[in-house]
Amino acid sequence: MAAQGTHEVQPLADLESHSDRAWNLAWNPKHPLIASCSADKTVRLSSYASSSGNTLAPKTVRAVAWSPSGKTLATASFDSNVGIWEQEQDEDEDDEDGDVDMTGQKGLGNGEWECIGTLEGHETECKSVAYSSTGTLLASCSRDKSVWIWEVQPDAEFECMGVLLEHSQDVKCVAWHPHEEILASGSYDDTIKLYVDDPSDDWYCFTTLKGHESTVWSIAWSPCGRYLASASDDKTVRIWAYAAAASDGGADSKNKVLQVKPPSVISSSQGDGRWVQVAVLDSHERSVYSVSWGKGNNGSGLGWLASAGGDGTIRVWDVQESEDSSIALNPKLIASYPEAHGVFDVNCVSWNPRAGMEDVFATAADDGSVKIWRINPSKEAGSD
Amino acid sequence: MAFSGALACIKPVEQTDKKPEEKYVGAKTEIVVDSSGSYYEVASEGAVQLNNTSAQIDNEASTGTKLEQAQISLNDCLACSGCITSAESILITLQSHAEVFTFLDSNKDATEGTKKLPVLSIAPQPLASLAASLTASACSSSSSSAAPPITPHQVLRRVQAFCREALGIAHVFDTTFARHLALREHLLEFEERKAKDKLGGEAAQGQLPMLASACPGWICYAEKAHSEMLPFISRTKSPQQVMGTLVKEWVGKHAGFTPDKVYHVSVMPCYDKKLEASRQDFYNDVYSTRDVDCVITTGELELMMREKGWDLAQPVPGELDEEAEAVNAESTALPELIQHAGSSSGSYLMSIIEHLQRESAVPLTLSSKIMRNADYEEFTLTVAGSGKTVFKGAKCYGFRNLQNVVRKVGRERGVRTAGGAAGRLAGRAGAGVGRRLKKAGGGGDDDGGKDKQYDYVEVMACPGGCVNGGGQLKPVLPKPQESGVDEEGYPRDWVQTGVVLPETETEMGATTALRADVDPPSVAAIESGVVTNAKWGDKDWTRRVEAAYWLDGSLESMGQAGVQCDEEGSGAAEIKMNGGPHDPDAPPRTGTISSTRQVINDNGGLDTLRAMGGGREGPTVSGRTGGRLNVKSDATSAERRRSAQRVRKQRWAEKLADRVLKELCGSDNDAVKNRHRFFRTEYHAVESDVGGLAVKW
């Protein structure tokens, strides 16, 4: 079907399918690699060109995340653990495990990928995992309602920095702020919670975002870090921002002017503003399972937001700030692609984070497949 | 889980129904689970009134009363949430203050011969909690800025008066003598383990570090999630269970009662103590009775007093008198409120350190280092001259630090860190890490052995330790009632105690921080000046309870120390010398208990674990003088007298402990066996059912 909007979604590649639903994928930030995971209990690493190898986990692997260095992969698994995987540097011991048959990957040497550590602590299925922007912290969440924060230490060691039991239900996703140490989590309790570290104490939840009417499946920070998008079972994508009274808004004393401010550890927890909902995107017809916020390649605005879910349609939005004083956003749907994986639910959409590839994203779906897509300006419409 | 942990640490059971007493009465109820997973208590005969807040429950369950989660599970304990079995939860439901009332009523009418001897034991942390609460209430209701602090000693006297006059319980003890016995056994066990560890090889496996066993939240968590830690956990019973043995086997016997004819209630800072008392290991098969029959929390004791109309703020005659030492060798009087220097969670680590210093042929220097936060602190004993480390221990409180100790011990001692599927993965991971580390040219010992492994860790599940237990009273902060905002700055409807407003509860973080566009409740929050950051209030409160814990009960200190009331509610409770006269005739302060209770009642989501750090204990663990308040005093004769008193009490405790051991265990060949039977226990790994459920997304 034809795309609507100013851009179109172009299929680039189909990766070798998983044998059960594909849950999540992660672009390696440094190397031409995609990691995808599945209910078939494998994590598959695919280079852009050639295909892949599997590594077996004991249970469904629900989510994968690369460290910013691109050298370490974390997996969130239904065995309740987070697995930490790195590639063997040397070839000197060729230990054939049978379980691990990951072989040579372009751009990352030929070492075997091995599980160098597990983070135990969750009582039940681990649902999501994420590295902070500097790679020094790792967060995970689980059906046990908890969010755990670990500090990454040398020699595959991790120190537990916090166990946050703020949600009243299954926690579905965690996402770190792109440059601050602020963590967001989304849950079956319909809320999003934001956490920061108290340097003299522990991590704590400093705010709760309420508005979604059902499960929050996915969270994505804007590349600038001032906005947060969330995808929900209530069929909407919502965008949130930290707004405070403008410091120069004295002239209009009656209607205080709110401005979106960059969240920081200080302002978020102690500032005088608050988190507000600045946009609701409700064009999905079914649950929205995933949202990803990329830079886009048009060089202006807040970037491109991609969303996908139960209706099988990929939607791509261009997000620009309002030109008047309103803090509300009015994202423009620039492209959509129905039946991206046929009749199957799309579980994950993710922009390529690497420079020069901002217009490329990938999707993972219930049919087990992982597909790569590119956003091109439509032929009819003028480029934006 | 997270344990509880935590909530963040821990939330007391909230009474949402207005007439709890009627619901608990009688054991003829069943707990049913409906299709939505809610629990209902259903009377086996006849319907129970429907809780008015649960309008849309299934037909099936609608004949019952929806139970608050906290009544049947220990979600408030981060160490246990979600993982206790239904059998355990029913046992715990049966341990309530209402059960105590039920027993006392039936015992009143019991015929001679079936009448039981009621005994109540209260741990020092609940006394500290009540003392801090009374002091804070007195501060906020009195116009003067300084009021004499209420001491645990006074509270004990008042609780004894309450039990005697309102409940008819004549025997009320604190548990510090039981702790004294426990610490002795604990030292013996440490020496045994140290000796085995020295042998090396097989025998040394799982001996050191010895991990404290007094925290039932930690035990429960270790049994369910970290069975590899069980060999390291001290076999010595907790003070509660030693008290159980003491009361049933010794005090009862001397009073002419068999163990089953003694009804033993303990008052604990922690819900998990109920779980501990319910353990099969503490069941006496011969007499079909438990060492502790019913465990209630500090909050539940307070509720009992409220229901009986007892005002704990009222002084009782003689409450400032010194304890009379039992002179009669046959007396079963127990020394009261023995202070063991160290931590307010039982001083397990410090008792070992002091023991080692005492026993050492050469002088040992103690140094300590705060790790990530005050709840994780390392203690090292070095030989004064050579600097050689002879002992390394740590105190480690809170679920998060506990995680790190489990990982550290697992790594250092080479035990696998989990079971089940996780174990398989970890096994493979272990191989990988091993390879890697080998290549790196070392193991964990990067400092070439300088980094000595732990010999002992005082593990507690709650941040701040037992003074911050989940069963303790909620903080009392100034003027919460007037503003309609509670102690954490949450807007509250005080009229409807027990009804939690979820909107305000969860919105809180957003609204109180707001100025540009405020919702009405947050206006109140800002105007009232109440602390907006919940965890600070709690942390500060923990510090106050900690301070109260170490208050000396003697008359002299009472007359000279005053507690500085902090109107902001944000500073630490600072005990200062003001030389002011103590006024024993101070008018009774009415209303203090009820205001405290409001705070207790009103308490939100049970799944929420606030991450709350315990305060640094200041003087309590930093040196050999530990265990006293930081009272700046010109070393007066009063001070010397107090210290002489303490020495006397210690001597009394030692002497009595010898006697109790001899009477209980005998001195023949079976003495050791008997001692183990009375003072040690076992732990059992619980199979995890992780992965047993078919979760698809």
A271 closest CB neighbour out of B399, B513, B609: B513
Q: What is the pLDDT of residue B425?
A: 34
Check whether B303 has a pLDDT greater than 50: yes
Least confident of A199-213, B299-313, B352-366, B589-603: B589-603
Average pLDDT estimate for B266-281: 89
Give buried/exposed letters for B601-638 (b at 16+ CB in 10 A, else e). bbbbbbbbbbbbbbbbbbbbbeeeebbbbebeeeeeee
CA distance linking residue B413 with residue B197, whole number of Å: 12
**Model-wide pTM > 0.80:** no
Q: What is the mean pLDDT of residues B384-405?
A: 91
Judged by average pLDDT, the poorest of A274-288, A334-348, B263-277, B280-294 is B280-294
For position B308, what pLDDT does the model report?
A: 93
Note which residues in 510-529 of chain B have CB less than 8 A from chain A. Answer: 510-511, 513-517
Most confident of B143-152, B266-275, B573-582: B266-275
> Which residues in B lie closer than 8 A to residue A258 (C-beta atoms)?
516-517
Phi, psi of B22 (to 5 degrees): -70, -30
Does any CB of chain A come closer than 8 Å to the CB of residue B136? no
Whole-angstrom distance, CA of residue A316 vs CA of residue A281: 11
pLDDT tens digits for range B179-200: 999 999 999 999 999 999 999 8
Question: What are B71-90's pLDDT values in tens digits?
Answer: 333 333 333 333 445 556 66
Nearest residue to B217 via CA among B226, B208, B207: B226
Query: What are the tokens at A236?
Result: 């909407």
Question: Could you report the per-residue pLDDT of A271-310, keeping only the tens digit for each?
Answer: 667 888 999 999 999 999 999 999 988 777 899 999 999 9
Q: Label residue A21 by pLDDT band (50, 70, 90).
A: very high
What's the confidence (pLDDT) of residue B321?
Answer: 79
Which amino acid, B492? R
Helices assigned H by DSSP within B163-317: 176-199, 201-204, 216-225, 239-245, 252-254, 272-277, 298-307
Quote the minimal CA–CA distance from A164 to chain B in Å.
Answer: 7
Give B519 to chain A, closest Cα distance, Å: 12
Handedness of CA B210, B213, B215, B218 (dihedral sign): positive
Mean pLDDT to the nearest integer, B508-528? 32
**Per-residue pLDDT for B576 more than 90?**
no
Provide mean pLDDT across the span B519-529: 31
Which residues in chain B are contacts of A260 at CB distance < 8 A? none
3-state secondary structure A15-73: ECCCCCCEEEEEECCCCCEEEEEECCCEEEEEECCCCCEEEECCCCEEEEEECCCCCEE
DSSP 3-state assignment of B144? coil
- Which of A5-19, A207-221, A238-252, B218-232 shows the lowest per-residue confidence on average (mean pLDDT)? A238-252
Per-residue pLDDT, A5: 76
Q: What percent of chain A has pLDDT over 70?
A: 84
Residue B405: is its pLDDT beyond 80?
Answer: yes
pLDDT-based confidence at residue A140 (cuts at 50, 70, 90) = very high
Predicted pLDDT of residue A123: 87
Lowest pLDDT segment from A267-271, B120-124, B351-355, B521-525: B521-525
- Rounded CA-CA distance B64/B72 in Å is 15
Min Cα separation A174/chain B (Å): 15
Minimal CA separation from A210 to chain B, in Å = 8
Helices (H), A231-296: 265-270
- Average pLDDT for B497-503: 33
Structure tokens at A118: 């597990």
Q: What angle do CA B367, B372, B375 make, to 5 degrees?
A: 75
Q: Which residues of B touch A143 (CB under 8 A)?
A: 695
Q: Which residues of A touch B609 (CB under 8 A)?
A: 163-166
Confidence of residue B436 (pLDDT cuts 50, 70, 90): very low
Residue B611 to residue A204, Cβ atoms within 8 A: yes
Instruction: Return the higher-pLDDT residue of B36 and A93.
Output: B36
Contacts of B372 in chain A (CB under 8 A): 159, 161
Closest CA of chain B from A244, distance in Å: 7
**Cβ contact (<8 Å) for B399 and A204?**
no
Residues in A touching B510 (Cβ below 8 Å): 207-209, 274-275
The average pLDDT across B525-537 equals 36
Structural contact between residues A35 and A73, judged by C-beta atoms closer than 8 angstroms: yes
B459: β partners: B396
The predicted pLDDT at position B385 comes to 84
- pLDDT at residue A189 is higher than 90: yes
Interface contact A270-B4, CB threshold 8 A: no
The residue that leads in pLDDT, B406 or B624, is: B406
The CB density around residue B570, as the number of other CB atoms within 10 Å, is: 15
Pick the more confident residue, B319 or B460: B460
Contact (CB<8Å) A256/B421: no
Q: At CA B561, angle to CA B557 and CA B562, rounded to 5?
A: 145
Looking at residue B333, its pLDDT comes to 86
pLDDT over 90 (residue B524)? no
Give, in order, the Cα–Cα distances in Å from A26 to each of A349, A366, B18, B51. 9, 16, 53, 48
CB contacts < 8 Å between A and B, how many?
A: 197
Percentage with pLDDT > 90 across chain A: 56
Residue of chain A nearest B6, judged by CA positions: A165
Q: Which of A96, A118, A195, A240 to mutate to test the interface with B (most CBs of B within 10 A)?
A: A118
Peptide bond into B209 cis (omega under 30): yes
Confidence band (pLDDT; 50, 70, 90) for B346?
very high
**B80 in Cβ contact with B221 (< 8 Å):** yes
Rounded to whole angstroms, how far apart are CA atoms B599 and B473? Answer: 8
Does position A178 have pLDDT exceeding 80, yes or no? yes
Please give the pLDDT value at position B154. Answer: 92
pLDDT at position B458, please? 96
- B426 vs A118, A145, A163: nearest CB: A118
**How far apart are alpha carbons A223 and A268 in whole angstroms?**
18
Q: What is the pLDDT of residue A268?
A: 57
Q: Is B295 exposed, middle or buried (0-12, 13-18, 19+ CB in 10 A)?
A: buried
Q: Which residue of A has its CA nearest to B401?
A: A160
* Pair A239, A227: CB distance under 8 Å: yes
Q: B429 vs chain A: nearest CA distance in angstroms?
A: 5
Distance from CA of A104 to the nearest CA of B (A): 18
Cα angle A60, A66, A72 (rounded to 5 degrees) comes to 95
Top pLDDT among B239 and B63 is at B239
- Length of chain B, in residues: 697
Is pLDDT at B55 greater than 60 in this prediction? no
pLDDT at A13: 85
Q: What is residue B54's predicted lDDT score, i.e. its pLDDT?
A: 39
Q: Which residues of B touch A158 (CB under 8 A)?
A: 407
Distance CA B112, CA B550 (A): 43
Tell me whether residues A78 and B695 touch, CB distance under 8 A: yes
